[in-house]
Amino acid sequence: MITILIIGFLIAWAIKILLLRFLKAIKFDRVSERWGLTHMLSKGGMSYSPANLLSRFFYWVIVLITLILGINALEVAATQNFIAQFFNYLPNLFAAIIILVIGYLVAIFLGQAALIAAVNAQMESAKLLSRSVRWFIIVLSLTMSLYHLGIAEKVIVSAFSITFGGIVLALAISFGWAGRELAKDFIERIYRREERGGDGTDQISHI
């Protein structure tokens, strides 16, 4: 167990240093600042840079795995089943974290794209639309990650379905109520055009 712990801590330290140098070489902090990740971390009270935080994350993951392997080397029957379940659950945990990170980055990108499109279309609620798109993607990624972890799957799916259905219904009612005059004018123009162009006889163009 002591041998596993020593080797594991050395490997974790080496990977932390190498990963930090690699992220600094590819200017990961600058890219994170452009994506808004640095701003989010500063709001959350994080004093570490994204590159430093990512390298520390992998360091502690390896340390945790090393501790588990070291305890497993003692061959205590009570802990072996727990360790086996933990390693079976670990891929789901990593997948959930990746879904959250990718979902957040996609939310920022689509939010900015919606903001640019709305501003170009001269919409008054451009910021509201951008925030709505961003938070929708964030909630969707959070729902997917919790579902992937197996935490109250039916409750999460039902809650998301009800929330999403309510949002769609509210948007449909609001757009329908606000656009009823436009729809009325559009139908009246079509009706007048047919009245002016018609000669009183029924003509069948196709069936």
- Annotated domain spans of the chain: 1-75
* Position with higher pLDDT, 44 vs 157: 157
Residue-wise pLDDT for 107-152, tens only, equals 888 888 888 887 887 777 778 778 888 888 888 888 888 877 777 6
Query: Helix crossing, 153-178 with 180-197: angle to 10°?
Result: 50
Residue 59 reports pLDDT greater than 60: yes
Residue 206 reports pLDDT greater than 50: no
Residue-wise pLDDT for 4-52, tens only, equals 999 999 999 999 999 989 988 888 888 877 776 776 666 655 667 888 8
pLDDT at res. 3: 92
With cut-offs at 50, 70 and 90, classify the pLDDT of residue 207: very low
Q: What angle do CA 61, 103, 21 make, to 5 degrees?
A: 45
- Rounded distance between C-alpha atoms, residue 90 and residue 64, angstroms: 11
This prediction's pTM: 0.56
Q: Which of 142, 43, 42, 55 is nearest to 101 (CA)?
A: 142
The dihedral built from the CA positions of residue 133, 138, 141 and 146, taken in this order, carries a sign that is negative
- Rounded distance between C-alpha atoms, residue 37 and residue 43, angstroms: 10
Cα 180 to the center of its chain, rounded Å = 35
pLDDT at res. 49: 80
